[in-house]
Amino acid sequence: MRIKHNVFDWVALGLSAAACLVSGIMLLLRWNEIPDKVATHFEFNGEPNGMESKSMLLIILAVSAGLILLFQIAMHFPGWWNFPIEITDRNRYTVYRLGKYMMDTMMITFSVAFSAMLILMTYEKNMPSWFTFAFLGALLLGSIIWFVIITVKGKADA
């Protein structure tokens, strides 16, 4: 069963692609100003504790773009997804639509997080101590709350 893209799917793809594109442009514009070694790993409090070649920034950008591509490919095969409930003819569309919403939300969250990390590394800034909490909060709590609201209102196909 194929679940067609709706407005949210297109907005999610647009935001994710824009985040990746903006960080790529920032990286390109600042490439000559970036030192040969950049902080690539940060402690929980935001202090850097690992340095790598600046070419690692290109790998992070490629991983970000690759994740967007993988999410888009995976969304075309909802039958492969693992759900904690039995999929029946009656609930198939709703469950697949909710799964697609979840993947859209994850794609946006990962893209924005990777973009923020790349921009911070490009400008040689320490990662803010709240960054991990914000990322996990957006990924977990934001997603859960949003999906509960959609499910309760019965608007999975909106």
3-state secondary structure of 87: coil
Q: What is the pLDDT of residues 55-92, one digit of tens each?
A: 999 999 999 999 999 999 999 998 888 888 888 999 88
Contacts of 95 (CB under 8 A, 6+ apart): 83, 85, 87
pLDDT for res 157: 56
pLDDT for res 158: 47
State the Cα–Cα distance between residues 33 and 31, nearest whole angstrom.
Answer: 5
CA distances from 153 to 56, 147, 149 (A): 44, 10, 6
3-state secondary structure of 103: helix
- Threshold 0.85, pTM exceeds: no
47 CA to centre of own chain: 23
| Dihedral (CA of 81, 85, 88, 93) sign | negative
What does residue 51 show for φ and ψ, rounded to 5 degrees? Answer: -120, 145
